[in-house]
Amino acid sequence: MDFYDYKVGLNNIIERPSTKILTYLYQPIIGFEAITIYRTLFEEWLISKDINNFKLKINRLFNITGLNQELYFDSIKKLEAVGLMKTLVNAKKEYYLFTLNSPLEPINFFNSNILNSYLYSKVGKTDYELLRFIFRDDNKINNNSECVDISSSFNDVFDNVIIEDEMLKSTYLKPKPSKDLIVSEKTLIKIKNMLIENCIKFKISNSMFKEWINEIFLLFRINESMFIDLILKFNKNIISEKDKNPLFSFISYELKRKLHSVSNTFFDIKSTIIEKKNIKIKEMETIDAQQYMMALLSTEMLNESQKELIKELSLKYKLRDSVINCLLEFSYLKNEKNIVANYIYKIAKSLNENQIKTAEDAMQYLITAHKNSRVIKPKNQIVENSYQNKPTKDYKINVDNDVKLDLSLWGDL
């Protein structure tokens, strides 16, 4: 991990980001370590033209910030989640690209339900009202194709927040137009055209439409097609300002429902299998990777090589704990109850390249890949047309297949 280089880029930043905004609005949510990293990377960008010929290793940032590797990347995820940073990685050329975004103006920050709610939950009513007072007059506008986007969403990092009634009664600042930074103008135009094609109209102002789209994409990390599909399921041809909370709740419900599918009550056997799968997914999603490995191996402590394996999967391959847990169990079942590091690294690379981010997707990917890898085509034999026409997902894992995998624990995917 520490042999990777890194580069820093800026997006929509035309001057030094406001220390006041970072300290009082973002720091209570993401912590001072994350703010320290953000400021450090901005300074790194400033000096980059003077040291353009130097290749900077990632461990330089650990030394400058005084943070260890694990805490550094945990803080990076928080910066990604609130929209202050996007992280891309180029595994072939072994470097990270950290792109910094400008913090939201106070007016936009307080108009963001999710950021506003989380700030309130962190600082409490008294300090929250004080912050609203401090920023009452602030309305200042701050103005690699080989890489894969591995940034975290808000839901990936932070718990869901219920908006307090007392906060809803607070006196809000009057909204004014501003420059958006999460979704580009090109993407907004594409979304509008797709809505028109599907006879859906948002009966709100352009500025409010931009705010809604930015907030939805920040919170749920969905793409344009997924957004349109969800809007169609919402089943309203005209969406007005009063529909915001129902719409956001619907999107959240639909995305969670996809992860935790409802059992089919008409088929008892299938219902049991689905329920078993959902329990397994929840288990994968909620248990820390180190704890999961200890439970898998029936041990109270991991050795250094086992700890290093999990660190590599998290930091180098940027896999989430839920995906790591699936990978550990897959190796355990397939290799006669052994955790084989080299075997796991080969698959981890493939999971990273395919941007597998949830336990459900990881289980689907691994089982499908396993099944496909066991299909042996006889030499000099023509395959029947009926088999040729059968659609299959082209998942391939370049590993040995001499051990049988017990798939029964993973449900009927």
In which band, very low, low, confident or very high, does the pLDDT at 398 lie, cut at 50, 70 and 90? very low
pLDDT of 335-353, one tens digit each?
878 888 888 998 999 898 8
Collect all residues with Cβ–Cβ distance below 8 Å to 208 and sequence separation of at least 6.
241
Q: How much is the average pLDDT of 138-142?
A: 46
Q: What is the pLDDT of residue 162?
A: 52
Collect all residues with Cβ–Cβ distance below 8 Å to 158 and sequence separation of at least 6.
29, 78, 81, 118
Q: How much is the average pLDDT of 184-210?
A: 88
Half-sphere exposure of 187 (CA within 13 A, CB side): 16
Q: Higher model confidence: residue 108 or residue 286?
A: 108
What is the C-alpha separation between 301 and 155, in angstroms, rounded?
30
**Residue appearing with tokens 């898998």:** 296
pLDDT of 6-45, one tens digit each?
889 888 776 788 889 999 999 999 999 999 999 999 999 8
- Round the average pLDDT of the chain to a whole number and report it: 77
In which band, very low, low, confident or very high, does the pLDDT at 177 lie, cut at 50, 70 and 90? very low
Lowest mean pLDDT among 73-82, 106-115, 151-160: 151-160
Question: Is 1 in contact with 312 (CB distance < 8 Å)?
Answer: yes
CA-based radius of gyration for the chain: 24
Structure tokens given for 222:
């969905």
Query: 246-273: buried (b, 16+ CB within 10 Å) or exposed (e) per residue?
Result: ebbebbeeebeeeeeeebeeeeeeeeeb
Q: What is the pTM of this model?
A: 0.43
pLDDT score of 172 more than 50: no
* Helices vs. strands in the chain: H and E counts, helices first: 20, 6
Q: Higher model confidence: residue 135 or residue 170?
A: 135
Tell whether the torsion through CA atoms of 63, 66, 70 and 74 is positive or negative: negative
Q: Helix (H, G, I), strand (E, B), or coil: what is residue 8?
A: strand
